Amino acid sequence: MHLGLKSVAAGTIQLLQQLGLSRRDVSPAGLAALERLAAERDALAERLKTAEALADRDTLAPVFNRRAFLRELHRTMSEVERYKTPAAVIFIDLDGFKALNDGYGHAAGDAVLTHVGRMLLDSVRESDVVGRLGGDEFGVILNRASAEEAHAKSEALEQKLLNTAIIHAGTPHRVRASFGVHAIAISEDPETAIARADEAMYAEKYARREQAQAFSSF
């Protein structure tokens, strides 16, 4: 006696449909084999999904790696071009990170990078993207955000980082970072957008250094 249709798993029904068969075309033994095949396929798909997610993650901070960040940036830029919606990239460079690594060790540096990644993730919307671009550099993609909104968000992130103490091995560390904002332009490629945000970050870092020197001369 054939199994009733309701007792057949959804994955098996889908497989039957893909093969152009109905349940009545398959014997009980064949149906059992298809159920095992469907279960194996679903398990493989889940493992593949997990592997892809791990491949997208940075090795240290809980954010995207550079490759995945560039992919998401390309996706955002396609939406900007197609729908004419605004979006922006924020480039973030941690100030004095080498000195922290040299003075307190790489474990302290790793703790800072992990903290910054989590702070950025907690401070943006689910539609936004955070990635570590390399070393002590991070990037944020703000989807559907104007240049003014991106600058305001950048300032808020800078203040939040300044006001947060990172405790490692009983020692508090306060980290300052330089931020650069670039409003994504139509027909721009991801690497160019990141480079322009990087240039904006260096301009801010230079201006801050010049301001500090001016004050110290009084």
Catalytic positions, please? 136
Answer yes or no: are the C-beta atoms of 141 and 89 closer than 8 Å: yes
Q: Where are the beta strands (DSSP E) in 118-170?
A: 129-134, 137-143, 165-168
Paired with 91 in beta bridges are: 139, 180
Q: Which residue has the tokens 């040299």?
A: 102
Q: CA-CA distance, 107 to 123, in Å (whole number)?
A: 24
Output DSSP code: residue 58.
-
Q: CA-CA distance, 121 to 119, in Å (whole number)?
A: 5
Cα 67 to the center of its chain, rounded Å: 10
* Torsion sign (Cα): 197, 97, 136, 146: negative
Element (DSSP H or E) covering residue 18 = helix 10-18
Classify 27 in phi/psi space as left (phi over 0), alpha (psi -120 to 50) or beta.
Answer: beta
Cα 200 to the center of its chain, rounded Å: 21
